[in-house]
Structure 1
Amino acid sequence: MTYCTPYLLSLGLTKSKISLVWIAGPLSGLITQPIIGVIADRSTSRWGRRRPFMLCGMVLVAMFLLLLGWTKEVVRWFVPETEASREWVQKMTIVTAVGAIYGIDFAINAVQGSCRGLVVDTLPIPKQQMGSSWASRMVAVGNLVGYAAGAIDLKSVFGEVLGDTQFKQLTAVAGITLCVMVGITSWAVTERVLVSDGREEGERLGIWDVLGTIAHKARNLPRGIAGICVVQFFAWIGWFPFLFYSTTWVGEIYLRYDAPAEVKMANDVTGRVGRIGSTALIGFSIITFLMSVILPWFVKNPLDETPGYTQRPPQSIAAFVFELEKYKPSLLTAWTCSHCIFAGSMIMAPFVQSLRSATILVGICGISWAISVWAPFAFLGVEINRLSQSPQHPQSPSHSAEESQSATGESSGAYLGIMNLYTTLPQFVGTFISWGVFSLLEPGKSPELAKEAHPDEHHSTEGPNAIAVCLFIGAVSAVVAAAATRRLGRIQRELKSRF
């Protein structure tokens, strides 16, 4: 994420074209997670329902990461570069790099969906919030390690064992780390194997069956889950430009306002932008990790009244935590505040003119991100497990009795996949918003990174930064997400009163 946008800019792509490349993210989420979720829900593999997909996805991600890092070498192996073929080689390099990005996005969604499914499948209702918060912590640790790896000079650490450029070494480290972590998870987690009752024996799960199941569940979502999905939709219109372009924005702020002349004229400006962006996101990841550790002790569990779950804070702060018990905000309130914090930070983006200010704003968003990767999955896990224990549940107006009776824990993959639809669809919206903004404000190639392009092809640096405008629009959407979260609270209170 930190290096891909600067890398594509250095290949000569314009920002408007790169925004279309990043359709890979929402497109892969739209297709992969729901389909893998439904198939995994019905899998009777002796290895479990989630692990086979985690392992297959892991192998594919590692392969595509290596292809992305060694794109130029792979292309030149098939098409030797000469004076006559140079333009063709450059085009094929771009196509191969974009193809590798698409492959990574599609494969990683199988891994992500399966990992989230494990949390929902293996934990009881009282532990869903803690399980989701631990997942959030691990995401924060992974981000921190990844951004730290991007911020340091890996060649000084590994030499040229993992490649002769920073980007190659990053892709190699990412692939190796993914294989190790997924391997440990697959070994350590005990899954409940789904045993067939014989009624579907001999039937094959066709693609139309899978799509039909997804469509049926999406049209008949329980009200609580539907409310969560609406919040996710508007929140992710805001998060999309931040996650994809914030490091490039920080790097551009540095190059335009703070960088000395020798840095601007250096050969490896792409690496410099990547390291500056990674450094900013190290602060973001540290804050995310700290918040993911601290906040669960100071935020109410959605099912605090459920017996069987007792908080056990460290002894050194136990008295303080229990004293504040009655003053704890709900997780829903924390989620609402996270949207407001993100909106307040990103609204300032168009006015930033220093690296320090940009880094501070990115760091503040770490508070919001810690809650955003925790709260929706905690609420969804509670809702899914509640449905699995209740033969009847409050429904949306179009919800049928048949769906009510079929809402079991074995549907967790389908519901996670559907919520992922509400995470990916707004990314399409964000993609086309970004494309429009970039086409209008910065239609040419990057003057900072596309050194080989003719000056006439460069876009102007006068006027507002196009990425900052996208971040501002995302902030407005975050305000809508905050209002939707308040509405979700009213839905939850209404549903609770019916039990």
Structure 2
Amino acid sequence: MPSNAQWSGTASIKGSTESVRMALLTLSLVGLQFTWGTEMTYCTPYLLALGLTKSKLSLVWIAGPLSGLIMQPVVGILADRSKSRWGRRRPIMLGGTLVVSACLIVLGWTGEIVAMFVQEKELKREATIALAVGSIYVLDFAINAVQSSCRSLIVDTLPIPKQQLGSAWASRMVAIGQLVVYGAGAVDLKAIFGELLGDTQFKQLTVIAAVALLLAMGTTSWAVEERVLLSDGKELEGTTGAFSMVGQIFTTATHLPSRIRAICWIQFWAWIGWFPFLFYSSTWVGEIYIRFDAPQEVRDHPDTLGNIGRVGSQALIAFSVMTFIGSFVLPWIVQSPEDDEKPAFTPRPPASIAPFVTQVANNKPSLLTAWTVSHLVFTASMVFAPFVASLRSATLLVAFCGIFTFMGIEINNLGTSLPTRTSPSRKPTRSPNRRLSDDVELDTTTELVHLRRPSSESSPSSPGELAGIYLGILNLFTTLPQFIASGISTVVFSVLEPGKSPELAKDAHPDEHHSTDGLNGISVCLFVGALSSVVAAWATRRLKFVV
């Protein structure tokens, strides 16, 4: 927003302490994780249970990158210029939340809804699949709008000195949300609620996710007061915002600074690997369990979807716990640029352990080394996926990926170059984020590149505008590889598992099922992702030589 924009009011957050204010501001992210966790854990086996083949299923998950590619810039433009008296972000957050909650309920009861209008068996099955897929598409588009607004609300509300703290709190809330939703998915909800929330595990989880999202978004919207935009200073401009932004992104993308271009390609290769993991890993764990470890009564259970979802959720709990532990431990054992600008240890450690402490301090890996290792850890885990034949091994590999999953970078106020040392005027912080340089930070979330929007008072020629353009470019480099990964998955599933799932699509004729002999299709997709992660590690290693 240019410097001649006019505002009324002052951004504020309810709460008597800073911790309470930060918690209220970022609580919405807990609700978001309930939706993402439910979708990633249960929706893949749910669609397979409806009779969708895996090759067609991989095309359904194009909804994720497609919605991100479209909704983030569109919602960003609309919200940035909104003059609503309720603020720029909260109306979109609340409106999108209502749509997402409705889609979650529809997903849980697609069969019952279709049965109200269609009676013929085959037509009902096809209509049920169509309604479920349509609900997922609408849900993904709406949740991307909500997520974009939630992140922007943090930046809009906090002053620049507090934004790093806000980012740290956002990371904590994401981690908490993941643990809670995976925990809810892992327990037998029918044993707790009976059939009060539905007669299957999936139905009950969709209700819980919808309620959690409504409560979290409602609380954040109540606690935060936004400034109201009176004039954005663009009323007399002749350019259209959307076309202007696309033109800027294209022009900048063809003239990227070398270090930014290198980071973009790291993200590109990394996301080819992470996309199948995010959407298929829990289903893969569940299939391994059903095929190799489950007793016959579990295989014959009418709610196989619930059993696969619970087992998959347990693996993701282990994954999230490892991520959570790593986010606290690894920043203390990885070298920060700040360490070069201050004495290594003050006060001096006891003489008995001083040599050991000094040796450890002198041999800390750099941030780039740690980021490279994060790719290799993922590779070392997923390269064994095709050879797994037990629930314990599958869970161990998924959990192992969580050790370095928190590694990522956050780029603030990007200019035309990235200095190699932190600015002496910037004081060190105790945030879990660690800087790769003055403008590049290591964030304790998933392996994603985030660009934080600068103060709204930034002038169009400031690095802040470049950061906004880079955000669009980096979004492309995390979205396009997801389309590639989806295409790879489609080919793999068409060759290895062209039929319907024998574990989940029990109503289908046996001739329609694919064979369970040979390689598991999802494990091959994970293996291909591991190979892509090797390229990401190589690109990360080369980043230190890019100037």
TM-score (norm 2): 0.76
- CA offset at residue 180 of structure 1? 2.2
**Number of the residue aligned with 1:139:** 174
Q: Which amino acid aligns with 1:215?
A: F
Alignment partner of 2:517: what SS?
Answer: coil
Contact kept? 1:50, 1:117, Cα under 8 Å: yes
User: Deviations 1:461-491 (Å, cap 9, x if unpaired)?
Assistant: 1111111111000001111111222233333
- CA offset at residue 58 of structure 1? 2.0
State which drifts further: 480-489 or 178-187.
178-187
Q: Which amino acid aligns with 1:462?
A: D
Alignment partner of 1:406: what SS?
Answer: coil
State which drifts further: 293-302 or 65-74.
293-302
State which drifts further: 131-140 or 472-481.
131-140
- For the pair 1:332 / 2:368, whether they are aligned, the reply is yes
- For the pair 1:73 / 2:112, whether they are aligned, the reply is yes
Change (3 A) 1:110 1:381: farther
**Number of the residue aligned with 2:398:** 362
**Number of the residue aligned with 1:22:** 61
Tell me which of 110, 131, 137 is aligned to 1:102: 137
Change (3 A) 1:132 1:225: farther
**Number of the residue aligned with 1:383:** 414
Contact kept? 1:144, 1:282, Cα under 8 Å: yes
Contact kept? 2:259, 2:417, Cα under 8 Å: no
- CA offset at residue 450 of structure 1? 1.2
**What is the aligned-residue RMSD (CA, Å)?**
3.4
Alignment partner of 2:412: what SS?
Answer: helix
Structural mapping, 1:442-461, within 5 Å: 442-461=497-516
- CA offset at residue 131 of structure 1? 4.5
Alpha-carbon distance between aligned partners in 2 of 1:195 and 1:121, rounded to the nearest angstrom: 15
- CA offset at residue 177 of structure 1? 1.3
**Number of the residue aligned with 2:299:** 264
- CA offset at residue 12 of structure 1? 0.9
Change (3 A) 1:467 1:413: same
Structure with the largest fraction of strand: 2
Contact kept? 2:326, 2:404, Cα under 8 Å: no
Tell me which of 240, 246, 249 is aligned to 2:281: 246
Alignment partner of 1:437: what SS?
Answer: helix
Alpha-carbon distance between aligned partners in 1 of 2:404 and 2:523, rounded to the nearest angstrom: 18
Alpha-carbon distance between aligned partners in 2 of 1:345 and 1:438, rounded to the nearest angstrom: 21
Alpha-carbon distance between aligned partners in 1 of 2:93 and 2:333, rounded to the nearest angstrom: 33
Alpha-carbon distance between aligned partners in 2 of 1:487 and 1:130, rounded to the nearest angstrom: 30
- CA offset at residue 288 of structure 1? 1.4
Q: Which amino acid aligns with 1:105?
A: D
Q: Which amino acid aligns with 1:21?
A: V
State which drifts further: 35-44 or 279-288.
35-44
**Number of the residue aligned with 2:203:** 168
- For the pair 1:286 / 2:317, whether they are aligned, the reply is no
- For the pair 1:111 / 2:134, whether they are aligned, the reply is no
Alignment partner of 2:405: what SS?
Answer: helix
Tell me which of 510, 514, 523 is aligned to 1:468: 523
Contact kept? 1:126, 1:303, Cα under 8 Å: no
Alpha-carbon distance between aligned partners in 2 of 1:32 and 1:468, rounded to the nearest angstrom: 31
Alignment partner of 2:507: what SS?
Answer: coil
Alpha-carbon distance between aligned partners in 2 of 1:126 and 1:305, rounded to the nearest angstrom: 23
Contact kept? 1:38, 1:413, Cα under 8 Å: no
Change (3 A) 1:447 1:421: same
**Number of the residue aligned with 1:295:** 330
Segments of 5+ residues of structure 1 without an aligned counterpart are 308-318, 395-403, 495-499
Contact kept? 1:34, 1:414, Cα under 8 Å: no
User: Deviations 1:228-283 (Å, cap 9, x if unpaired)?
Assistant: 22211111100011111111111111111111222222222121111111111111
User: Deviations 1:101-130 (Å, cap 9, x if unpaired)?
Assistant: 011111111222233334555667777665
Change (3 A) 1:304 1:411: farther
Tell me which of 24, 41, 65 is aligned to 1:2: 41
- For the pair 1:86 / 2:121, whether they are aligned, the reply is yes
**Number of the residue aligned with 2:75:** 36
Alpha-carbon distance between aligned partners in 1 of 2:194 and 2:416, rounded to the nearest angstrom: 50
Alignment partner of 1:4: what SS?
Answer: helix
Contact kept? 2:413, 2:466, Cα under 8 Å: no
Contact kept? 2:154, 2:163, Cα under 8 Å: yes
User: Deviations 1:182-214 (Å, cap 9, x if unpaired)?
Assistant: 333344456666674635358785543454344
Structure with the largest fraction of helix: 1
Alpha-carbon distance between aligned partners in 1 of 2:104 and 2:536, rounded to the nearest angstrom: 34
Change (3 A) 1:477 1:107: same
- For the pair 1:348 / 2:384, whether they are aligned, the reply is yes
**Number of the residue aligned with 1:400:** none
Alpha-carbon distance between aligned partners in 2 of 1:268 and 1:326, rounded to the nearest angstrom: 55
How many residue pairs get aligned? The number is 461
Percent identity over the alignment is 61
Alpha-carbon distance between aligned partners in 2 of 1:212 and 1:47, rounded to the nearest angstrom: 31
Alpha-carbon distance between aligned partners in 2 of 1:349 and 1:449, rounded to the nearest angstrom: 21
Change (3 A) 1:142 1:367: same
Q: Which amino acid aligns with 1:56?
A: G
Alpha-carbon distance between aligned partners in 2 of 1:128 and 1:175, rounded to the nearest angstrom: 29
Tell me which of 475, 478, 491 is aligned to 1:423: 478
Segments of 5+ residues of structure 2 without an aligned counterpart are 1-39, 343-352, 424-437, 440-458
Contact kept? 1:129, 1:302, Cα under 8 Å: no
Alpha-carbon distance between aligned partners in 2 of 1:131 and 1:333, rounded to the nearest angstrom: 26
Q: Which amino acid aligns with 1:54?
A: M
- CA offset at residue 437 of structure 1? 0.5
Q: Which amino acid aligns with 1:409?
A: G
Tell me which of 55, 58, 61 is aligned to 2:94: 55
User: Deviations 1:362-418 (Å, cap 9, x if unpaired)?
Assistant: 0011123222xxx23x2x23537999x9xxx99xxxxxxxxx963543665554343
**Number of the residue aligned with 2:431:** none
- CA offset at residue 14 of structure 1? 0.9
- CA offset at residue 159 of structure 1? 3.1
- For the pair 1:440 / 2:471, whether they are aligned, the reply is no
Contact kept? 1:148, 1:278, Cα under 8 Å: yes
- CA offset at residue 146 of structure 1? 1.1
Contact kept? 2:413, 2:464, Cα under 8 Å: no
Alpha-carbon distance between aligned partners in 1 of 2:269 and 2:160, rounded to the nearest angstrom: 27
Q: Which amino acid aligns with 1:25?
A: G
Contact kept? 1:349, 1:468, Cα under 8 Å: yes
Q: Which amino acid aligns with 1:162?
A: L
Contact kept? 2:286, 2:309, Cα under 8 Å: yes
Alpha-carbon distance between aligned partners in 2 of 1:384 and 1:74, rounded to the nearest angstrom: 53
